[in-house]
Amino acid sequence: MPHSRQLHLGAFMRPVSLHTGAWRYPGAFPDANFNFRHLKRFVQTLEKACFDAFFMADHLAVLNMPVNALKRSHTATSFEPFTLLSALASVTERIGLVATASTTFDEPYHIARRFASLDHLSEGRAGWNLVTTSNPDAARNFGREEHMEHDERYRRAREFYDVVTGLWDSWADDAFVRDAQSGLFFDPDKLHVLDHKGDYLSVRGPLNIARPVQGWPVVVQAGA
């Protein structure tokens, strides 16, 4: 019996277009990267067109390109992903909301908590684009003179992923009994302490937010 096949569509944006000169296109909105009215309409149009996900690329430094090119690019700046996607969650119903978050310059507890929050706010539509940061200029924005070496960044990312997903498992799905009669809000037997100690990270846990709606938000790797 043949298997049915279905095409899934994702819009890869930052948050408007990856094309450096898209703001100049006839009919485009030059300020769209920071105009929430436009962004809301764009993502609602994608949802109506049956796109599965809106994927927001992100960088932790101004792009390291020659200034004569940079001065013409609308991709030089954009919203912080979680702020924007949390706002978009309230004006959409079905489309997935995927944010880029780096394992190089953040802590796994922060990442786990933000994505769990976005998953609850969107009722189970959050996705994490897991990346290491390649731009060496970003290191100087986080108190470092030298960028982390390539292979080391990926070894840290592997451990980082294990910690984040472990933190998402801090609470069982049915941990919160919320029994007003007995006064029991959650069952302590269904709370799990991670207590991770690795080569790069030491994180006790548990996460102080309920298990994400999806269990784990979708994990995306937008690379090749």
Which CATH number is 118's domain given? 3.20.20.30
Q: What's the confidence (pLDDT) of residue 75?
A: 85
pTM of model > 0.85? yes
Give the number of residues written for the chain: 224
The backbone torsions φ and ψ at residue 17, rounded to the nearest 5 degrees and listed phi first, read -150, 145
Instruction: Name the residue among 204, 46, 211, 41 with its Cα closest to residue 126.
Output: 211
Q: What's the confidence (pLDDT) of residue 223?
A: 65
Is residue 169 in a domain?
Answer: yes
> Is the pLDDT assigned to residue 224 strictly greater than 70?
no
Range of the domain at 68: 10-135+147-220
Is residue 40 in a domain?
Answer: yes
User: Given 3-state DSSP classes, what are the helix, strand and coil percentages for the chain, each rounded to the nearest 5?
Assistant: 35, 15, 50
Instruction: Name the residue among 107, 133, 86, 132 with its Cα closest to residue 207.
Output: 107
The percentage of residues in the chain with a pLDDT greater than 70, rounded to a whole number, is 99
Contact 97, 53 (CB under 8 A): yes
- Report the domain count for the chain: 1
Is residue 2 in a domain?
Answer: no
* 69 vs 208 pLDDT, higher one: 208
> Is the pLDDT assigned to residue 23 strictly greater than 80?
yes
Q: What's the confidence (pLDDT) of residue 79?
A: 92
Q: What is the pLDDT of residues 126-181, one digit of tens each?
A: 999 999 988 888 888 888 888 889 999 999 999 999 999 999 999 999 999 999 99
Is residue 4 in a domain?
Answer: no
Side chain identity at 18, as an amino acid letter?
L
Query: How far from 35 is each of 7, 79, 140, 209, CA to CA, in Å?
Result: 31, 10, 29, 31
In this prediction, residues 30-57 reach a mean pLDDT of 95
Q: What is the DSSP letter of 54?
A: E
155 contacts: CB under 8 Å, gap ≥ 6: 199, 200
Is residue 140 in a domain?
Answer: no
